[in-house]
Chain A
Amino acid sequence: MTTAEHRTVAAPPIARTRKGPARSGYRLGRDRRRAGVLMLLPAMIHIGWWIGIPTVATIVLAFTHYDVLAGTITWAGLANFLDIFADPIWISSIWHTLIYTFFTVPVAMAIAVVIAVLLNSKMRARAWYRAAYFLPHITATVAIALVWKWMFEPNIGLFNSVLDLFGINGPAWLSDPTWAMPAVVIVSVWKGIGLKMLIYLAALQAIPLSVYEAADIDGASGVRRFFAITLPLLRPATFFVFLVSAIEAFQVFEQVYILTPDGGPANATTVMTLEIYRSAFGNFDMSRASAQSVVLLVFLLVLTLISRRITRTDDDVQA
């Protein structure tokens, strides 16, 4: 929307130069074109080389057998895909990714929207609260996941010590097949709240106050206002947050790698990215890793298409 606006603003100067003296107008246009291309060139070369080629190459590699050591490449057809889908660990890694996403994203979103609503009023120390909730987002996942690993330590860690105070005998967390995934989810929820809260805060500030004034006259309670007014008005933001968070959740790697380096006890936390990492940089089977990456990409594309469709129908209803 903003782009369209700016384009109409930017249009007149081109027209004006054409009206001016023919030679200088032509030269001016040529100068601008040349400057434009020259200034764009370094970025285009870099992105073409490091993003464009690799993206295409991933898809090509997925249909080949590529031997890293010998440097030979042969056509494989669908062999890599048949291979990975015959592997129970890969299948379970897909399930783990789905489970992880299913629990991490909605929980973090729910907490984030509540905090955003609470923070969306003039109050003392607002910036400090916001900073505290946002802090986990800006700290390195690896470093802070190590701190969580220390807190999850079964014998002398903070978690089980606190549980011990209440007479609960805490689980072994990361080395317990049942509790390893929940532990990873807890860390990710904690880390994911900040950014979601920030997007919700930005969306909340766009809601006109007059909407609430009408509710005030009707005497609606705070909780009711939240469910009847705020949440419906936040729908576009919610879809956006959901899409961004789900895409991120599907690609979770660092906290899983740090908390459970070998994919957890009995592969309990082996997610798709961990399998890709193992194939590519553990076994140096680049073709297998590429096939797995293509599967992940398909998941992400489907996710994007579904949520785009939902948002579009949403817009239609509003319009």
Chain B
Amino acid sequence: MSRRKGVRRNRILLHVALTIGALLMIVPFVWMIVSSLKSHAEITAFPPTWLPADPRFSNYPEALQFAPFGRYFINSLLISIGHTSINLVVAVMAGYSLARLPFRGRTVIFLAILAAMMIPTYSKIVPQYLLAKNMPFFGGNDYLGRGGQGWLDSYWGLIIPGAVTPLAIFLFRQFYLALPVELEEAARLDGMGEFGIFAKIMTPLIKPAIATVALITFESSWNSFLWPLIITTRDDLRVIQVGLAAFQQTDATLWEYLMAGTTLATLPMIALFLLTQRYFVQGLASTGIK
């Protein structure tokens, strides 16, 4: 009797501890939304109010008019969709090839992909910028990539350089390796071509993996900052993260609009995560890397 009581008390303590911790974790999100609904007078008042006296949803349309957050939002969306679709097509094929199609040099290439996965951003960012700037025939450049600005300030530069990730190739390879070889064999005996086996037999079987990789790619693309920051200077090409940072630097005291902007920038990802938690967790736990 007393033992059961103790277990029950422990259980309640556990929930209390976890709830307090969870609340601490979501304080910034709550404060962001609360702040985005306050008037300018209320948000700059001391002491601050906990809840807005009169929730001002008009902060959102006003923020969108004050700064081109709508444009930033569309840019982020275009780039994230571009990254995700290119990465899926290219990495699925590469992963399949590395997992199921034997050819000379495959192991070496796989090791190279592993190495590429571990190369830190700062060991490549400067030449990446120079490569983008000197892209031949683009942005007023001649055939040697001189004279113009190349892919700087263009959707090409925003989308192409980061479009294929070694991590996606690696993940797809692992998922394809786990499929039974009999399936492939049977299709081959039926006279199906290699591309047919890939597209019609094997790939439909890794749909959950495709969802996982798509989500990881979309999330990291939506949240990316450094590359869009250095590659663009034009306001109409800014992505949402760069736009927010620029807004904060120019209009530092308009916290209510900034919080409305950050809410718009984070809520889609939060919603996407809560709806697709299973795939996210599966992918991230199996790799441990972003």
**Interface residue from A31, A149, A198 paired with B284 (Cβ < 8 Å):** A198
Which of the 9-residue segments A86-94, A177-185, A285-293 touches chain B? A285-293
A 141-157 to B, binary, CB cutoff 8 A, 1 in contact else 0: 11110111111010111
Nearest to A43 among chain B residues (CB) is B94
A175 part of interface (Cβ distance < 8 Å): no
A141 CA to B262 CA in the complex, in Å?
11
Chain B nearest CB from A212 CB (Å) reads: 15
The residues in B between 266 and 290 inclusive whose CB is less than 8 angstroms from any CB of A are 266, 269-270, 273-274, 277, 280-281, 284-286, 288-290
Q: How far is the CA of A52 from the CA of B146 in the complex (A)?
A: 22
The answer to whether B101 touches A32 (Cβ under 8 A) is yes
Asked if A33 and B101 make an inter-chain contact with CB atoms under 8 angstroms apart, the answer reads: yes
Interface CB pairs A-B, < 8 A, 28: A13-B184, A32-B102, A39-B96, A40-B93, A43-B94, A43-B164, A46-B90, A50-B128, A50-B131, A54-B124, A58-B126, A58-B127, A119-B18, A121-B14, A127-B277, A133-B22, A134-B273, A138-B273, A139-B269, A141-B223, A142-B242, A144-B262, A151-B28, A198-B285, A202-B286, A240-B288, A258-B248, A289-B126
Q: Is the CB of B124 within 8 A of A36?
A: no
- Looking at the assembled complex, report how far the CB atom of A211 sits from the nearest CB atom of chain B, in whole angstroms: 20
Q: How far is the CB of A192 from chain B (nearest CB, A)?
A: 11
Q: Which residue of A lies closest to B91 (CB)?
A: A43
- CB-CB under 8 A from B31, the residues of chain A are 147, 150-151, 158
Q: Which residues of B contact A139 (CB under 8 A)?
A: 29, 223, 266, 269-270
Task: Work out how many contacts link A and B, with CB atoms closer than 8 A.
Answer: 284
How far, in Å, is A236 (CB) from chain B's closest CB?
A: 12
With A50-B131, A135-B270, A147-B259: A32-B194 Cβ-Cβ less than 8 Å: yes
Residue in A32, A46, A247, A296 whose Cβ sees the most chain B Cβ within 10 Å = A46
- B-chain residues with CB within 8 Å of residue A198 when the two chains form the complex: 281, 284-285
- Roughly how many angstroms separate A198 CA and B285 CA in the complex, as a whole number? 6
Q: From residue 40 to 63 of chain A, which have CB atoms closer than 8 A to chain B?
A: 40, 42-44, 46-47, 49-55, 57-58, 61
Q: Which of B22, B98, B131, B285 contacts A201 (CB 8 A)?
A: B285
Residues of B close to A261: CB separation below 8 A = 249
Q: Are B122 and A37 in contact (CB under 8 A)?
A: no
Q: Does B155 sit within 8 A of A, measured CB to CB?
A: no
Q: Which of A257-290 contact B (CB under 8 A)?
A: 257-258, 261, 272-273, 276-277, 280-281, 286, 289-290
Chain A positions 210-246 with a Cβ under 8 Å from a chain B Cβ: 222, 240-241, 244
**B222 in contact (CB, < 8 A):** yes
| Additional A-B contacts beyond A54-B131, A140-B222, A142-B225 (13; CB < 8 A) | A13-B184, A32-B101, A37-B103, A42-B93, A50-B161, A51-B119, A55-B127, A141-B223, A142-B241, A261-B249, A273-B122, A276-B125, A293-B125
With A156-B46, A161-B47, A199-B285 given, is the CB distance from A36 to B25 under 8 Å? no
Judged by a CB distance under 8 angstroms, whether A115 is at the interface is yes
Q: Which of A138, A157, A286 has the most CB of B within 10 A?
A: A138
A66 nearest CB across to chain B (Å): 8
- Does the CB pair A280–B125 fall under 8 Å? yes
Contact: A149 with B248, CB < 8 Å? yes
Contacts of B284 in A (CB 8 A): 195, 198
Instruction: Check if B28 sits within 8 Å of A296, measured CB to CB.
Output: no
Q: Does A300 contact B (CB under 8 A)?
A: yes
CA distance A134 to B280 in the complex (A): 10
Contact A44 B26 (CB under 8 A): no
Contacts A14-B102, A55-B124, A129-B18 given; does A35 touch B280 at CB 8 Å:
no
Smallest CB-CB separation from B184: which chain A residue?
Answer: A13
Least Cβ–Cβ distance between B184 and chain A, in angstroms: 8
Residue of chain A at shortest CB distance from B224: A140
Contact A276 B94 (CB under 8 A): no
Q: Are B127 and A150 in contact (CB under 8 A)?
A: no
Cβ of A260 to closest chain B Cβ, rounded Å: 12
Given A135-B273, A147-B32, answer yes or no on A251-B288 (Cβ-Cβ < 8 Å): no
The interface residues of chain B lying within 8 Å CB-to-CB of A9 are 181
Check A36 against B241 for contact (C-beta < 8 Å).
Answer: no
